[in-house]
Chains A and B, each alone.
Chain A
Amino acid sequence: MKQEFTLEIVSDNNFSILNRIVNVLNRRRVRIKKLIAQENAEDFTRGSAILLVYTTADLMEKVKHQLEKLIEVEHANYFEGSHKYYTFSENNSKRQVA
């Protein structure tokens, strides 16, 4: 059964990293509902992305390992539902306003 997952990816930051991540999801036809990607404020050579995706639990687990196979990706974690995504998104906007 498909459901929402919040997918968090921590990686090195370079010109192609977002494309690499999205490629893995596209290849598996995982629907991306929302996405925030940013370089690390303290170190621009690192970055992270948080995505709200819609897929099955089985595919989410498989995609996690395929994302972690990317050389630049340090780790990928996922959480059921959208709560984590919106919490992150809210904190992120507050940080930007501040």
Chain B
Amino acid sequence: MGALLTKTEPKSPGEQQAAKKITGSEILLRSLIAEKVQTIFGYPGGAIMPVYDALYYFQKELKHILVRHEQGAIHAAQGFARVSGKPGVVFATSGPGATNLVTGLADALIDSTPLVCITGQVFAHLLGTDAFQETDVVNTTIPVTKWNVQVTEAKDIAPAVAKAFYIATTGRPGPVLIDITKNAQNELLQESEYKPCTSVRTYKPTPAIQYDQVEAAAELINKAKRPYLLVGQGVLLSGATKELIAFIEKSGIPVASTLLGLGAFPSDHPNYVGFLGMHGNYGPNLNTNECDVLIGIGMRFDDRVTGNVNRYAKQAKIIHIDIDKAEINKVVPADIAIHADAKEALHALIGYTNANKHEDWLQSFHKLNQVEYEKVTHKELNHPQAELKMGEVINHLSKLTNGEAIVVTDVGQHQMTTSRYYKYKNPRTNVTSGGAGTMGFALPAALGAKLAMPETEVIAVIGDGGYQMTIQELGTIMQYEIPVKIMVLNNSFLGMVRQWQQLFHDKRYSCTEMANPDFIKIAEAYNIPARKVEKREDLQNVIKEMLGAKTSFFVEVVVGKEDNVFPMVPAGGCVSDCMLEAPAI
């Protein structure tokens, strides 16, 4: 993606000082520094070369991680943002560089991840001429960004960056993109003070809490016999874990978590009843259709949580708390809607809520979960088959890390198994691709997470299919010696699709079996120590060896080829239809 340098390419800052003018590229970098950016994930190319040239002089202030594919850059930035709460920053060039970001943008938008992506663009006078590596990036990325803009003059760069950071990080966070033409990157301009953005006329990210709604919600909660709370990622994004614990300990309400909400409420808390959704726990799913008041907080009633929405919690009064007004009444009609930040809403709600215990109701979840334990979990953890089960692998990983590692998962059976068996104790330790379900997410996201949280153990748990979608990022891990741990659960199948084929398509395994390479040799080629586990007796020792390693470490665990993840709400079924095993044929 290289391009010839032009006569207008920037000189070093020292040379430009005489004129007291700096290039648009330098303005961009100084703006990022003003926004406290320290790490950038990116890949250079022709249309962004002036920015990379300027970056040469800012290597002390800005650490650039050269990934192996732009998709790797954006997923790495997502991992970085998800664990740190800071926006991830990405550089890519025009055309294919920019379009390679689209999957990550879609993923970040649906999973509310703050990102600021900078793409280079062809010279302004070439826009619309089908120039080399010209793609209409703004129009391509409108549906997958919270906001985007094209900048064609250097004077507009700093205000665009300021606005981008403000929009990405406020309200419901999301990805933004700034497309900068090459002439704007090269243009010389008088240096001026950076002004952060503090408001946008048409954008109101912080809704004023309506106390009448809070009071009405509290009245419903206080009268309820079987109240039930569903916690989503909004609680993590709002930093409201403490407030949620306080609210639950006062109200005595059972709490279940969505996929992205895992870690928002401690899994070892007595009121925690489990994981929701298609492969969630039995109690949380079944009792959704038994509760009398259902409170959704910072969650969006995704179809993987609700199943058939026409048979979802019809008996219950619904209280929906969300910062995104478009989410309220989008899927499930709310009886009481609180359009607010989760922390603020919980803080207000505590004052109006009566102390309660709901012991029998709480117990009913544990009874159902006990049924699940006997029919599913116990068998998964103590199976007589020689092949390892995914559940037992994750169970050991959870115990050996005390549920305190950052675990980054990809998409599929291993993801659902990890969500079920890894006992997340802390906020921002579960990183996964939720709404978009992006295979290939985990490896780059894990390296980004590790760069953000170098003191915390970061483990990528990936299936053999997803691993091969972004396997090239092993090169990034090698180059920057990022001590991220990688665990591939290999069943030589696209396991979740195969499971559906088995259960709903009469076992017609259409295009899901995979002939895999020697993953150990591949890891070793990247200077990453690697172990393969095929026997149960080796499993714990290898996990311990992986956790003890000071460098990156790769573990391949060979698991049962045709193992399934249960419980399962079948497609088209409702939460009450949750199955604990495959139906008898």
Do residues A71 and B146 form an inter-chain contact, with CB atoms below 8 A? yes
| Whole-angstrom distance between the Cβ of B129 and the nearest chain A Cβ | 17
Query: Which chain A positions have C-beta within 8 A of B147?
Result: 71
Do residues A74 and B325 form an inter-chain contact, with CB atoms below 8 A? no
| Whole-angstrom distance between the Cβ of A70 and the nearest chain B Cβ | 8
Q: Tell whether A39 is near chain B: CB-to-CB under 8 Å.
A: no
Do residues B330 and A68 form an inter-chain contact, with CB atoms below 8 A? no
Do residues B329 and A62 form an inter-chain contact, with CB atoms below 8 A? yes
Q: Tell whether A20 is near chain B: CB-to-CB under 8 Å.
A: yes
Complex Cα distance A19/B141, Å?
11
Do residues B143 and A65 form an inter-chain contact, with CB atoms below 8 A? no
Do residues B203 and A71 form an inter-chain contact, with CB atoms below 8 A? yes
- Residue tally, chain A, CB below 8 Å to B: 19
Do residues A12 and B326 form an inter-chain contact, with CB atoms below 8 A? no
Query: Which chain A positions have C-beta within 8 A of B328?
Result: 65
Which of B143, B202, B326 meets A71, CB within 8 Å?
B202
Q: Tell whether B246 is near chain A: CB-to-CB under 8 Å.
A: no
Q: Tell whether B150 is near chain A: CB-to-CB under 8 Å.
A: yes
Q: A71-B167, A71-B202 are in contact. Are A15 and B150 (CB under 8 A)?
A: yes
Which of B143, B150, B202 meets A23, CB within 8 Å?
B143
Query: Which chain A positions have C-beta within 8 A of B149?
Result: 14
Q: Tell whether A16 is near chain B: CB-to-CB under 8 Å.
A: yes
Q: Tell whether A27 is near chain B: CB-to-CB under 8 Å.
A: yes
| Whole-angstrom distance between the Cβ of B541 and the nearest chain A Cβ | 51
| Whole-angstrom distance between the Cβ of B225 and the nearest chain A Cβ | 31
Query: Which chain A positions have C-beta within 8 A of B326?
Result: 62, 65-66, 68-69
B 323-337 to A, binary, CB cutoff 8 A, 1 in contact else 0: 011101110000000
Q: A62-B329, A68-B325, A69-B325 are in contact. Are A74 and B142 (CB under 8 A)?
A: no
Query: Which chain B positions have C-beta within 8 A of A14?
Result: 149
Q: Tell whether A11 is near chain B: CB-to-CB under 8 Å.
A: yes
Complex Cα distance A27/B201, Å?
26
Query: Which chain B positions have C-beta within 8 A of A11?
Result: 202
Complex Cα distance A65/B328, Å?
9
Query: Which chain A positions have C-beta within 8 A of B4?
Result: none
Do residues B139 and A74 form an inter-chain contact, with CB atoms below 8 A? no
Which of A15, A23, A62, A72 meets B330, CB within 8 Å?
A62
Q: Tell whether A73 is near chain B: CB-to-CB under 8 Å.
A: yes
A 57-92 to B, binary, CB cutoff 8 A, 1 in contact else 0: 000011001101101111000000000000000000
Do residues A12 and B143 form an inter-chain contact, with CB atoms below 8 A? no
Query: Which chain B positions have C-beta within 8 A of A71?
Result: 146-147, 167, 200, 202-203
Q: Tell whether B37 is near chain A: CB-to-CB under 8 Å.
A: no
Q: Tell whether B138 is near chain A: CB-to-CB under 8 Å.
A: yes
Do residues A72 and B202 form an inter-chain contact, with CB atoms below 8 A? yes
B 198-218 to A, binary, CB cutoff 8 A, 1 in contact else 0: 001111000000000000000
| Whole-angstrom distance between the Cβ of B454 and the nearest chain A Cβ | 34
Q: A15-B150, A16-B138, A20-B142 are in contact. Are A65 and B325 (CB under 8 A)?
A: yes
Do residues B139 and A12 form an inter-chain contact, with CB atoms below 8 A? no
| Whole-angstrom distance between the Cβ of B330 and the nearest chain A Cβ | 6
Do residues A19 and B202 form an inter-chain contact, with CB atoms below 8 A? no
Complex Cα distance A12/B326, Å?
20
Do residues A74 and B201 form an inter-chain contact, with CB atoms below 8 A? yes
Query: Which chain A positions have C-beta within 8 A of B150?
Result: 15
Do residues B143 and A27 form an inter-chain contact, with CB atoms below 8 A? yes
Query: Which chain A positions have C-beta within 8 A of B325?
Result: 65, 68-69
Scoring A11, A19, A27, A69 by chain B CB atoms within 10 A of each residue's CB, the highest score goes to A69
| Whole-angstrom distance between the Cβ of A67 and the nearest chain B Cβ | 9
Complex Cα distance A68/B171, Å?
13
Scoring B138, B143, B202, B324 by chain A CB atoms within 10 A of each residue's CB, the highest score goes to B202
Query: Which chain B positions have C-beta within 8 A of A23?
Result: 142-143
Complex Cα distance A20/B144, Å?
11
Complex Cα distance A11/B325, Å?
18
Query: Which chain A positions have C-beta within 8 A of B146?
Result: 71
Complex Cα distance A68/B203, Å?
9
| Whole-angstrom distance between the Cβ of A39 and the nearest chain B Cβ | 15
Do residues A12 and B142 form an inter-chain contact, with CB atoms below 8 A? no
Query: Which chain B positions have C-beta within 8 A of A66?
Result: 326
| Whole-angstrom distance between the Cβ of A61 and the nearest chain B Cβ | 8
| Whole-angstrom distance between the Cβ of A22 and the nearest chain B Cβ | 10
| Whole-angstrom distance between the Cβ of B162 and the nearest chain A Cβ | 14
The 5 closest A-B pairs by CB, nearest first: A65-B326, A71-B147, A74-B202, A69-B326, A66-B326
Residue contacts A-B, CB under 8 angstroms, 22 given: A15-B150, A16-B138, A16-B142, A16-B148, A19-B139, A19-B142, A20-B142, A23-B142, A62-B326, A62-B329, A62-B330, A65-B325, A68-B326, A69-B325, A69-B326, A71-B146, A71-B147, A71-B200, A71-B203, A72-B202, A74-B201, A74-B202
13 extra interface residue pairs, beta carbon distance < 8 Å, beyond A62-B329, A66-B326: A11-B202, A12-B202, A16-B138, A19-B142, A20-B142, A23-B142, A61-B329, A65-B328, A69-B325, A71-B146, A71-B200, A71-B203, A73-B202
